[in-house]
Amino acid sequence: MQLTIKHTGERPDGVRNVFLVKDASVLKDFGFNNEALAYVDAKIEAKETLITIQNYSTVYYVRIVSDEEPSNKLYEALRKDGSSVYANMKKDKQSDVCIYDVIGDKPLTLALTEGIALSSYRFDKYKTEQKDEAKDICIWVASSALNQADLDELRLLTNAVFVTRNLVNEPVSTLNVEELSETISELGAIHGFDVDVFNKTKLETLKFGGLLGVNKGSVDPPAFHILEWKPEEAKNAKPIVLVGKGVVYDTGGINLKTPPGSLDDMKSDMGGAASVVGTLVAVAANKLHVHVIGLIPATDNRPGGNAIVPGDILTMHNGKTVEVLNTDAEGRLILADALSYSEKYEPELVIDLATLTGSAVMALGQYATVGMGTASDEVFNELEKAGNCVYERIVRFPFWEEYGELIKSDIADIKNLGGREAGAITAGKFLSHFVSNPWIHLDIAGPAFVKKEDSYRGSGASGVGVRMLYEFLKNRC
């Protein structure tokens, strides 16, 4: 399926039509008769904002926007309305739509367009019966407030989200560490960012004790990926480093996950890695003037071979020792090595993304990401603002020193698990031992993979993190 978004000054034939208006009377200019206008007015009186007019096979949508100040909630409502429009198009096997921006508002029009575009994603490559026809999707946009360059940027960003969703949705049987490395290298070649992959021998030389330790139960070797986008016009003197947890499948190791149903979606435990890949794709494809480096440690977590067991001691890349209390707290072990390695770049900021803890899910569900770290309030506020803009919201958790007491070990420097309380925070405290530069930890365990259809986010992989980080990086450059 190919997604196309085109600017137009004409009315294309044979497509669905969506009108973005404040005053229904302007619909006269588009041929709406008195009966249709009366129908729209009645729906407005009933407080409806997305109005559907159907005359046999011809369907029109009218989105009424009030005069109130635009807000993030309004943009999100428009994305969801775009999803509703696409759902109806799909039901009727329609693939083309034209949005008419009658009010001349760029952000509102882009939000509506984005909702349709993101909703067009499907992961059905393994279906053999009743497979959706992979029709090309074309969204026409008639607006004096934006141009083709604006729409190209949105299309490339949407495709980057789809890259992330595809990586997360792919089962480990067809996306193990080696195949992940190949996919990342191919994406780098296509979009223009550099990729370097460290093999197991290199990791042993670098003493990546966390990544190598988690990998001991697997028959597949680990890998460490370095992705870099460094344009000549980069606005930042020091890079921004993004770190993504790449556990391609997590059984829990020797501490096998229970109940068995909790294993169903563990292919998604590399959601952080996928978000970093998608962000690099978006940044490079749109040629942002910002120096970004992505670091992705990758392995699966299995209970075979010489798998680590509770009581083992691991020596990490930075020389610190870790007492392993639970092998299902493996993500922080591989992230620790990557965060430690990030120090060599002397970055202005490090952001890690990880499907790290059930504690984050219990606290916020699928509706927000847990955030914490050592970056300044100003930087946190910038990231939160970007998240609010695209409705990938961050809730900042406390990071007080007292939480660090919960991961002290009697026989090593630290242990990889605190108690039942504040699990998301103690995981962050663990990671803080491996990074000294300004740093933000994002626990995306809740929103990264959703089992029930959620508007334009769909079901399965949501691609969370890509749009937020792109907005954040764009604002900084």
- Catalytic residue positions, numbered: 257, 332
For 383, the token pair is 């990231």
Cα–Cα distance, 379 to 438 (Å, whole number): 9
372-403 CB burial, b ≥16 within 10 A, e <16: bbbbeeebbebbbebbbbbbbbbbbbebeeeb
452-458-463-465 Cα dihedral, nearest 10 degrees: -80
- Encode 47-88 in three state secondary structure: CCCEEEEEECCEEEEEEECCCCCCCHHHHHHHHHHHHHHHHH
The label of the residue with tokens 């450059």 reads 477
Q: Which ranges constitute the DSSP H helices of 254-392?
A: 271-285, 331-342, 358-364, 377-390
Cα–Cα distance, 156 to 273 (Å, whole number): 19
The DSSP bridge pattern shows strands 50-55 and 58-64 to be antiparallel
Question: Helix, strand, coil shares of the chain as percentages rounded to 5?
Answer: 40, 20, 40
The label of the residue with tokens 């980080």 reads 469
The label of the residue with tokens 């970056």 reads 375
Cα–Cα distance, 409 to 374 (Å, whole number): 23
Amino acid symbol at 6: K
Which distant-in-sequence residues (6+ apart) come within 8 Å of 357 by Cβ? 370, 423, 424, 427, 443, 445
Cα–Cα distance, 28 to 182 (Å, whole number): 55
